[in-house]
Structure 1
Amino acid sequence: MLRTDKIRVVIADEQPVIVLGLQTWFETRERYRVVASATGEEQLLSKLRGADGELVIVGCALGAQARPAADRFGILRKLRECVPHTPLVAFTTESDPLAIRAMQRAGADGTASTRDDLKDLGRVCERVLSGVKGVISPRIASCLQSERRNAQAFDPNTIYREVRVSATTLAARM
């Protein structure tokens, strides 16, 4: 059965130009209607309570300055608590595989790069809306692939061949 109503989207990013660009892009698509947008964490959380969004797209840097470095993706955790069943797409400049995995653990159902084409963000949104978890954009996938290649190239025997430390020697040095 095809939907006759539009998918209600909530967009948030700390940069107003990003919010405006995403709003414009989604509004020009027949399937979507932007029901709320925000440029701050508290603004987003208050708008989510009043908006009946079916999809949340959030820039991961939103509110990061107010958080300790250990909780860089706290906004994703807060959103997951606030709207636990709403699909959540992280829109990020990150290319570090550890950071991308941290976003996924924090609650992102999908992850897209700000360097991807917007059509790739649209594909991530479509897959997340269909119920798939752990969806990543092509740019994010290439970042994760480079991590795998680097992990396979690591050979501890060649790097640490000359280092021999026994457990007792190590304990005596401490």
Structure 2
Amino acid sequence: MIRILLVDDHPVVRAGLRALVDGQDDLSVVGEADGLDTALTAVHDQRPDVVLMDLSLGADAVGGAEVTSRLRALPEPPEVLVLTTYDTEADILRALDAGARGYLLKDAPPTELFAAIRATARGETVLAPSVAATLVRRTSQPGPTVTEREVEVLELLARGLGNREMARELFVSEATVKSHLSHIYGKLGVDTRAGAVAAAIERRIIRP
């Protein structure tokens, strides 16, 4: 029996996933959590084999990638399968860097979800087709790719922050922010902040 913990901030979503998963003979939901603290407690108490992790856990909550990182740092960590609506480069790379074994989208059919859970429990990497395509596109596109730090700058740009505010958020100097912006403009082929945001969204580097 594969023991599963659901981490999602929407009770209705958790209830739907529980109903689906518990209908399988070899899968059992042993707990639910809506954020970091409840996830850590549930993992300690229930010892799940697989955690189904949403990335967006509320505006003021620690994100799913950070929760994944904290869970994977435990002495006997569960495997983590991300189940989310987001398939941008930024979200995918953060989740995988945090230690997620797989990345699936919430529009996946139930049979695909069940197979992904089983594969994750076996320690196999599972990627939704669009996620795999995004990673392939990132590695195969001509020219230099946008770095993780530059993605952070783009996300702050999309929020409308100025150079000073971005420097404060990233704990760097304004000169460093300007350097990042210059590199971003060159890589995306733009010359304005708005153009950089638009290009990053169009290329699915960051969320709209």
One fold, TM greater than 0.5? Answer: yes
Q: Percent identity?
A: 22
How far apart are the structure 1 equivalents of 2:59 and 2:118? 27
How far apart are the structure 2 equivalents of 1:8 and 1:141? 26
Q: 2:67 — aligned with what?
A: 75
Which of 119, 132, 137 pairs up with 1:141? 132
- Residue 72 (structure 1) shift: 6.7
Mapping of residues 29-40 of structure 1, within 5 Å = 29-40=24-35
How far apart are the structure 2 equivalents of 1:83 and 1:112? 25
Secondary structure of the residue that 2:60 maps to in structure 1? Answer: helix
The answer to whether residue 56 in structure 2 is matched with residue 61 in structure 1 is: yes
- Residue 115 (structure 1) shift: 2.0
- Normalising by structure 2, we get a TM-score of 0.61
Residue type at the aligned position of 1:140: V
Unaligned runs of 5+ in 2: 145-185, 191-208
Q: 1:3 — aligned with what?
A: none
Which one has a bigger Cα radius of gyration? Answer: 1
How far apart are the structure 2 equivalents of 1:106 and 1:77? 5
- Residue 53 (structure 1) shift: 1.1
- Normalising by structure 1, we get a TM-score of 0.72
Question: CA 1:57 to 1:74, structure 2 compared with 1: closer, same or farther past 3 Å?
Answer: same
Mapping of residues 108-127 of structure 1, within 5 Å = 108-127=100-119
Residue type at the aligned position of 1:30: D
Cα displacement string for residues 44-85 of structure 1 (whole angstroms, at most 9, x for unaligned residues) = 211221102111111111266334xxx772111111123644
Secondary structure of the residue that 1:132 maps to in structure 2? Answer: coil
How far apart are the structure 2 equivalents of 1:103 and 1:64? 18
Superposed CA RMSD in Å reads 2.6
Unaligned runs of 5+ in 1: 1-5, 161-174
How far apart are the structure 1 equivalents of 2:61 and 2:122? 34
Question: CA 1:72 to 1:51, structure 2 compared with 1: closer, same or farther past 3 Å?
Answer: closer
- Residue 121 (structure 1) shift: 1.9
Secondary structure of the residue that 1:91 maps to in structure 2? Answer: strand
Judge conservation of contact 2:69–2:99 (CA < 8 Å) in 1: yes
Residue type at the aligned position of 2:40: L
How far apart are the structure 2 equivalents of 1:107 and 1:116? 21
How far apart are the structure 1 equivalents of 2:77 and 2:133? 28
- Residue 147 (structure 1) shift: 4.3
Which of 89, 103, 128 pairs up with 2:95? 103
Work out the number of aligned pairs and report it. 147
